[in-house]
Amino acid sequence: MSKVEKVALVTGAGSGIGRAISLRLLQDGFVVILVGRRRAALEETAALSVSGGKAMVLPADISKEEEVDALFEKVRQEYQRLDLLFNNAGIFTRSASIEDVSLENWQAAVDVNLTGAFLCTRAAFRLMKNQLPRGGRIINNGSISAHAPRPHSATYTATKHAITGLTKATSLDGRKYDIACGQIDIGNASTDMTEKMERGILQANGSTAIEPTFETRYVADAVSYMAGLPLHANVQFMTVMATNMPFIGRG
């Protein structure tokens, strides 16, 4: 591997924010490991790159410990290092008031949104700690829901609040190993998952309202900035959102 290459791994890289971030990191000169459950979607992301950057498609279910460990072992064998992990993969379960949330839906959200991020963070941390030169950066996709809930979103909100704790703990544990960890909280970036906001979505007062969105390229700009910092500097938390979305004063 060339000494000038930096290696990034993006989970949930087959669509939406994960795809936008992957393409931007390729443009920035990273070798990008594209991770998700659907190979076809990951290959579509790789095919969209116009930068000539190197993309590697590695399908995996990040909620499974053995798959995550095998994934990072492949990265270690192929590149001997990892410079950036973007923990992005996440799911929304069925919208429901908390008394109607099934254990199945609760567990599904925890498995992907929280356990998946933990497993990837742990594996990346182990690699970054021992590689030469030592260190790296982990960026977690927290979401506005890491701060304030929407109605009927107990599973997503709880897991995203937990991501904030994971970010802080990783940042603290990483100091002595030159591992920086930060979090980007995104509000209403325009993706397939936010189309319903443009049609009208339930508000805290019981009404339904159309919410503004903004282009994912601005999220990509923000992550590119975070990823480009030297390891002695860190964006601990950043919020990027549609200016007029109901976040400040939500509820």
251 residues of the chain, pLDDT tens digit each: 445 589 999 999 999 999 999 999 999 999 999 999 999 999 999 999 887 679 999 999 999 999 999 999 999 999 999 999 999 998 888 889 999 999 999 999 999 999 999 999 999 999 999 999 999 999 999 999 889 888 898 999 999 999 999 999 999 999 999 999 999 999 888 877 667 777 888 888 888 888 888 999 999 999 999 999 999 999 999 999 999 888 876 65
Residue 249 within a domain:
no
Q: Structure pTM? A: 0.92
Domain count, the chain: 1
DSSP 214: B
Structural domain harbouring 15? 6-241
Q: Give the integer Cα–Cα distance in Å for 90 and 117.
A: 9
What are the catalytic residues? 156
> How large is the angle between the packed helices 16-27 and 39-48, nearest 10 degrees?
40
CATH code at position 61:
3.40.50.720
Q: What residues contact 91, with CB distance under 8 A and at least 6 apart?
A: 108, 109, 112, 113
Residue 51 within a domain:
yes
Residue 159 within a domain:
yes
Residue 251 within a domain:
no
DSSP 135: -
